Amino acid sequence: MTGGDVVAVAVLAHATSQQRLAGALLDAAAAAGMSLDLRTMSELATETGIRQEPGRPPSVDPDRPMIWLAVGDHAADDPDERFAQAESYAAARSIAILTRSPVLNRPTSFGSQGTLPMSATAALRGLTPRLRDRVRTEHFTSHAAPVDGEEQEVLDYATGRRSRAYHDGAGPFRSRPAAGRTAWITVAGSRTFGPDVADLHDASRQVAASFGLGLAHVWWACPPDTDATVSRVDAWAWDAALGARVDDVARSLVAWCADPAEARS
């Protein structure tokens, strides 16, 4: 199959929080001679049917290769609108699960993207034993709980801010011992992006694959004197998360769609 034969769909908030990625995907698809449709979850749910009959596998129509980049809508204030959002999301996620064509970051029984758990802590503790052994102890508190003589990584739930100390935030907090500088590797299809740190690109690919992800960000803590350890795994694909990597990521995702062999890997 060549790029020109593929009619694929990317599911994302193409008019809002993923607008830049959407544009980059269209540019990459045009350059590859590929036909790529952009759909929000609601649009996908409205134009796609799912039929299930006893004794037969479910049928999704249309069934096409999909790049599942859905990050969820901001919850509406109105209860009826919120229900409509939930219905569209349930339909879209089911479509992504049941589509027979390749789906990048296909949701599963456990997660909205691959098997990556909703809980960031659970994601780390779900790593392979070799990596999990080095995952740091985490502490969840309603109040600031600094440890004498220890630098900590702190997430303040009140502000969403991550820092290396408790500041004036109201909390609650999630904290763990700091462990050196951070390296951020993005896995997109068969390519990886990020600083050139020994072995981290291959290791990030393995982490992404272990959660069934074709697009993932793997954050490593790199102590000066020991091996790097995974500090965070996510599959966020909104513009703010991708930053300057958006064009490279878009090209890799389009290449993923155009190459069925890679899509199945």
Partner 1 sequence: MIGLAGSKADPVMVHTAAHCVRHEVPFAVIDLVDTASRGSWSLTVPPDAGDHVSGDEEVRLAELSGIYVRAIRLGDDTGAHRWRGLVDGFTAWLGERPIPVVNPPGAHVLNSYKPAHYAWLAERGLAVPASLVTARARDAADFLAGGRAVVKPLCGTRATTRELDLERLEGRDDLGGPVMVQRLVQGDDVRAHVIGGEVIACRFRSDQIDYRSDRSAERCVTRLPDDLAHRLTTLSAEQGLVFAGWDFKVDADEEYWVLECNPMPGYSFYDRVADGAIAAALVRYLRG
- Find the shortest distance in angstroms from Cβ 125 to partner 1: 6
Q: Considering beta carbons, is residue 105 or 192 the nearer one to partner 1?
A: 105
- Please tell me whether residue 140 binds partner 1 under the rule CB under 8 A: yes
- Please tell me whether residue 234 binds partner 1 under the rule CB under 8 A: no
- Find the shortest distance in angstroms from Cβ 193 to partner 1: 28
Strand partners of residue 162:
155
Q: Pick one of 15, 33, 74, 119: the residue that binds partner 1 (CB under 8 A).
A: 119
205 and 213 Cβ atoms separated by less than 8 Å: no
Residue 4 phi/psi, 5-degree rounding, is -65, -20
Give dist(CA 1, CA 261) in Å, integer.
10
- Find the shortest distance in angstroms from Cβ 124 to partner 1: 9
Sign for the CA dihedral angle at 205, 191, 216, 106 comes to: negative
Q: Pick one of 7, 20, 166, 174: the residue that binds partner 1 (CB under 8 A).
A: 174
Q: Which 10-39 positions form the footprint of partner 1 (CB under 8 A)?
A: none
- Please tell me whether residue 144 binds partner 1 under the rule CB under 8 A: no
Kindly state the tokens that stand for 248. Answer: 């490279």
Q: Which 40-69 positions form the footprint of partner 1 (CB under 8 A)?
A: 42, 45-47, 49-54, 57-58
Give dist(CA 247, CA 185) in Å, integer.
15
- Please tell me whether residue 110 binds partner 1 under the rule CB under 8 A: yes
Query: Which whole-number Å values give the CA distances from 258 to 9, 29, 118, 252, in the listed order?
Result: 12, 9, 30, 10
- Find the shortest distance in angstroms from Cβ 206 to partner 1: 21
Give dist(CA 141, CA 89) in Å, integer.
32
- Find the shortest distance in angstroms from Cβ 47 to partner 1: 7
Q: Name the CA radius of gyration of the chain, rounded.
A: 20
Give dist(CA 220, CA 116) in Å, integer.
17
User: x/- contact string, 80-109, with partner 1 (CB under 8 A)?
Assistant: ---xx-xxxxxx-xxx-xx--------x-x
Sign for the CA dihedral angle at 134, 140, 141, 142 comes to: positive
Give dist(CA 178, CA 63) in Å, integer.
46
Q: Considering beta carbons, is residue 35 or 42 the nearer one to partner 1?
A: 42
- Please tell me whether residue 182 binds partner 1 under the rule CB under 8 A: no
Q: Considering beta carbons, is residue 20 or 139 the nearer one to partner 1?
A: 139
Q: Considering beta carbons, is residue 17 or 85 the nearer one to partner 1?
A: 85
Sign for the CA dihedral angle at 14, 17, 23, 28 comes to: negative
- Please tell me whether residue 264 binds partner 1 under the rule CB under 8 A: no
Sites of contact with partner 1 (CB under 8 A): 42, 45-47, 49-54, 57-58, 83-84, 86-91, 93-95, 97-98, 107, 109-111, 117, 119-122, 125, 137-143, 145, 157-158, 171-174
